[in-house]
Amino acid sequence: MRRLNILALGIMLAIGMLASCSRKDKTPEKPVESSAPADAAGMLDLVPEDPGVAGWARQGEVRFFDEDGLFELINGAAESYFVYGFRQVAAVEYGNPAHSSPILLELYRMEDTRNAFGIYRSELQPDADFRSIGAEGYIGETGLNFWAGPYYAKLVVYEDSEELRREMEKFALRLAERIGVSGDLPPEVALFPEKDLVPHSIRFLPADVLGQTYLREAFEARYRSGGGETRVVVLSPGGEAAAREALDKYRIFTATGGEVIREVSSPGDGGFVGKDAYYGPMAALQSGGRIAIALGGTSADAALRQAAACLAEK
């Protein structure tokens, strides 16, 4: 019996030692920082120690995160950034002795201008207070977002203060100057006529447009007229044949859950009108390598007119 007790004690001690070693070896997880990001030097120039706003200075080091570290920086929101061609983010804090809150900056480098516009508009708040910063920006109680070129900037303070909002705006203007690229919207925005267009409703959809894997890289906008709202999607699948194939697939999809009411031979190369299972009235048209799909509104004919108007724009 004594021998068994000694044996049991030995096993318990061994287990304890292994557990102790395991605890010593296990260190808290930290955000994965890019060890040598290819464009770190370029981004570093955009977040200098002196941001050009009186009294403010960079505190600590600039942290760079790539795809591996983005989950740690912004948690579950990372997936949406990957969809928009995320490349890298620089995270930095600026302080001013005259203010109790620092300004926290996250500067995202996306794949290109379209994707920077896309991620910015995807996070746009419906009650946004817009500012002429970069290509477009808006300010809230404790935050300011804007985009310019391939960059998307997000500034945050800890206090709801008019004075801090003014400082954020000055800070953002200086940052936009350093980025120094054209403030133009993507050229595809011109595809949408201004009549009845809901302001700031145009967005870029990189993938799975309308839930369809074969519809990619589209721009969409919302229109309000006659008491109804219409969602219009415009995309170029890659040539006339590819556009025809995509339209045929969408016709089958519409008929499966809703109804194809009739075919139309014009405008453009024609298409069809029908009833969508979710939006109701709808129309889909092709013109060369471009497709326009209008969903919702007061009638299928109204949707057809709206789709045709978008195809008419060059």
Beta carbons within 10 angstroms of residue 163's beta carbon: 11
Phi, psi at 75, each rounded to 5°: 55, -135
Asked if 40-179 and 187-312 have one fold, the answer is yes
Lateral strand order in the sheet of 86-95: 57-65, 86-95, 103-110, 151-156, 143-148, 136-139, 129-131
Locate all alpha helices (DSSP H) within the chain, ordered by sequence. Answer: 2-25, 40-46, 67-74, 78-83, 113-122, 162-179, 240-257, 300-312
**The predicted structure's pLDDT at residue 21:** 41
Give me the residue spans of the domains in the chain: 40-179, 187-312
CA 22 – CA 32 distance, rounded (Å): 22
Mean pLDDT of the residues in the chain: 88
- Residue predicted with more confidence, 31 or 175: 175
pLDDT at 22 over 80: no
pLDDT at 242 over 60: yes
Mean pLDDT of all residues in 187-203: 95
**The predicted structure's pLDDT at residue 6:** 39
pLDDT at 30 over 60: no
**The predicted structure's pLDDT at residue 229:** 97
User: How many C-alpha atoms does 150 have within 13 Å on its Cβ side?
Assistant: 13
Mean pLDDT of all residues in 255-274: 96
Find where tokens 């008491």 sit.
227
- Residue predicted with more confidence, 62 or 34: 62
Task: Grade residue 33 by pLDDT with cuts at 50, 70 and 90.
Answer: low
Among 1.25.40, 3.30.1490, 3.40.1000, 2.30.30, what is the CATH number of 187-312?
Answer: 3.40.1000
Task: Grade residue 182 by pLDDT with cuts at 50, 70 and 90.
Answer: confident
CA 240 – CA 216 distance, rounded (Å): 15
pLDDT at 4 over 80: no
CA 120 – CA 137 distance, rounded (Å): 9
CA 216 – CA 205 distance, rounded (Å): 7
pLDDT at 29 over 60: no
Contacts of 100 (CB under 8 A, 6+ apart): 158, 159
Topology adopted by domain 40-179: Protein Transport Mog1p; Chain A (3.40.1000)
Task: Grade residue 24 by pLDDT with cuts at 50, 70 and 90.
Answer: very low
Q: What is the pLDDT of residues 57-111, one digit of tens each?
A: 999 999 998 888 888 888 778 889 999 999 999 999 999 999 999 999 999 999 9
Lookup: tokens for 50: 């002196």
Lookup: tokens for 62: 């600039």
